[in-house]
């Protein structure tokens, strides 16, 4: 099965109260799962990676074989593609965790988009932060 995973994370203050969200969509646009979760105090980047890890784990559980990850975090996309080094120790473990889940799928690609092209995941982050 092919699918798209939209991920987002955010913190109010950096670090500050943080949340992540992901939306997993089948190839035909059907939403297979959508989740937003508050994670306590964290940085924006930690929240972005928590979304990726949770979404990749869910995609593997759902039997997805080919996945396109769509994120408005240029840092996350470039680090996961291997274009940027991961220097931050807090992110290194999350990158390893994400990579471990990604290896459960046949193919994972990463695409950076502007925030307005990631509306549902963005809204779920804000709803989790507001609750």
Q: How confident is the model at residue 122 (pLDDT cuts 50, 70, 90)?
A: very high
| pLDDT tens-digit series, residues 54-95 | 999 999 999 999 999 999 999 999 999 999 999 999 899 999
H or E element: which one contains 61?
helix 44-61
**At how many degrees (to 10) do helices 119-130 and 44-61 cross?**
110
**2-130 CATH, one of 2.60.40.60, 3.40.50.150, 3.30.420.10, 3.90.1280.10:** 3.30.420.10
Domain ranges of the chain: 2-130
- Give, rounded to a whole angstrom, the gap between the first and last alpha carbons of the chain: 34
Rounded to the nearest integer, the mean pLDDT of the chain is 97
Q: What is the pTM of this model?
A: 0.97
Q: In whole angstroms, what is the distance from residue 130 CA to residue 4 CA? A: 26
In this prediction, residue 127 carries a pLDDT of 96
């Amino acid at each position: 099965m092919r699918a798209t995973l939209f991920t987002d994370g955010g913190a109010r203050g950096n670090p500050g109260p943080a949340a992540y969200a992901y939306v997993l969509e089948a190839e035909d646009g059907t939403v297979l799962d959508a989740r937003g979760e508050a994670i306590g105090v964290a940085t924006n980047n930690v929240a972005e990676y928590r979304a990726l890890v949770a979404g990749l784990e869910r995609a593997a559980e759902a039997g997805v074989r080919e996945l396109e990850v769509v994120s408005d975090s240029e840092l996350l996309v470039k680090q996961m593609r291997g274009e940027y080094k991961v220097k931050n120790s807090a992110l290194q473990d999350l990158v390893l965790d994400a990579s471990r889940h990604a290896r459960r799928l046949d193919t994972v690609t990463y695409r950076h988009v502007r925030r307005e092209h990631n509306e549902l995941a963005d809204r779920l982050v804000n709803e989790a932060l507001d609750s």
